[in-house]
Amino acid sequence: MSRAVDDLLAILDLEPLERNLFRGRSPQVGWQRVFGGQVIGQALVAAARTVEGRLAHSLHGYFLRPGDPKVPIIYEVERIRDGGSFTTRRVVAIQHGQAIFSMSASFHVDEPGFDHAAPMPAVPGPENLPIEAQVRESVLPLMPDPVRAYYERERPIELRPVEYTRYTSREPMEPRFNLWIRATGALPDDPAVHQAVLAYASDMTLLDSSLAAHGRTVFERSIQAASLDHALWFHRPFRADDWMLYAQDSPSASGARGFSRGSIHTGDGRLVASVAQEGLIRQRLDLA
């Protein structure tokens, strides 16, 4: 297991403080605010710690304030309902006495039913794409200093973009983006761990797809970007340490907000999760 994956699992392993109350920490990597995927993943872990015998099938969260990476995050879980088939939880993440994130999550017993799924897009496999180190050479010099410092470190999620040239050009393109993702080391077999890791990774690059039609990226100094809300549905079992295709598109951008959707498929084409997100994509005119 890579050290970065060890660190991620440690971050997702929340400290229990009291019944329904947990504490999470943030990696000290120089970011001015907490990565949104970290808060989603930790909130899902907090909710799952109060549920027995069922896995999450959906979550819906709102980012309310920027998180401070210098201090712990307190996660308070409200047990909304424990039903025969479904369990509902509400989680509030708190820092400095204020809510920074709010999430509802639903858990479902494993049961059979109708089955169909949209096909995976026809794209090159990860073995036919440049490795992340090669992409970094062309993309890193274009990033703001704090973002570049983060991507220069060993990270727990490996990304292999299919249309990676969009980061080296300002040419507008169709608002679609595909990339292969996986944890950079083996994960424990617990399915709840794989869900939390995928929740963490699901916030990566999704908002950026809404800027593709405009030839811009969230890495530019002149773009102020932030996730506003995030929804994730789990459809089928998966392993987050195997390659998965994250197929993204953006149907709309208006009013300084971009809306993006994602479908996550295993390497053999199974649709395992769907994502939707709206985020702030504001152009800073002083730096345009």
The catalytic residue positions are 203, 227, 277
Other Cβ atoms within 10 Å of 116 Cβ, number? 5
Distance CA(9)–CA(159), nearest Å, equals: 18
List the beta bridge partners of residue 74.
23, 94
Distance CA(166)–CA(186), nearest Å, equals: 30
Distance CA(196)–CA(76), nearest Å, equals: 17
Phi, psi of 168 (to 5 degrees): -115, 5
- Give which of 246, 177, 247, 251 is closest to 216, Cα–Cα: 177
